[in-house]
Homo-oligomer: A and B are copies of this chain.
Amino acid sequence: MSPYFRRNFINCLSGFKSLNLVGTADAEGQTNLAPFSQVFHVGASPALLGLLVRPDSVPRHTLANIEATGFYTLNHVRADFVKEAHQTSARYAISEFEACGLTAEFRNGFPAPFVGEAWVQMGLRFAERHHLAINGTILVIGYIERVQIPADCINPDGFIDLEKAGSLTSAGLDAYYEAKKVGRYAYAKPDQPVSEIE
């Protein structure tokens, strides 16, 4: 396997991934925006998300800013700005918001910028950092402090209809997908067949 083949191949193996733009600002208020496909649920109470950062990758400004300010935003990517979102991975000298035509929104005193175009936006506060010795990857865990989602994308039971919200999923290093529901199933019990949830 060539290194290029290998990178594409291995990056696809985990399966489909989340797709978030991470918004930060440095101590002087200079904004930064970068795409991450390694954001995952860590816990519901307290509400925690994990973010994996490769120390040798472009988004290291993201890590520096999170450590400097303690805050960052996560913004789900939709198809109508997926090209701009992809382009934020380029190595810009200026803010990726400005370079890629996305809107930096500072709201209600939250210290990191939200992506105005995103329908699902979260504000996080840094909680904990782990160094994965095996390859130098950094795991950042943060508390979810703010959430903004269109009300009609939230079901009465708390389930968020990410398909309706237009959130994309990603694969490998560079592929983006829309999701189409197959089914939602009730909590599984040994003595009961699988039943559909509306």
Q: A residues near B, CB below 8 A? A: 1-20, 37-50, 52, 54, 74, 76, 79, 82-83, 86-93, 99, 120, 122, 127-128, 130, 132-135, 137, 139, 141, 144, 147, 154-155, 157-160, 162-163, 167-169, 171-172, 174-190, 194, 197
Contact = CB atoms under 8 A, between A and B. Distances in A.
Count of identical protomers in the assembly: 2
B182 A168 contact: yes
Contact of A132 (B39, B128, B134, B188): B128
A89 B3 CA distance: 37
Nearest to A160: B12
Residue among A93, A127, A179 having the largest count of chain B Cβ atoms under 10 Å:
A179
Nearest to A183: B176
29 contacts: A4-B157, A5-B157, A7-B44, A7-B158, A8-B159, A9-B158, A9-B159, A11-B44, A13-B160, A14-B41, A14-B49, A15-B167, A17-B18, A40-B40, A41-B52, A42-B135, A46-B134, A46-B135, A48-B135, A79-B182, A83-B194, A87-B188, A93-B190, A99-B190, A159-B172, A171-B179, A175-B183, A177-B179, A180-B180
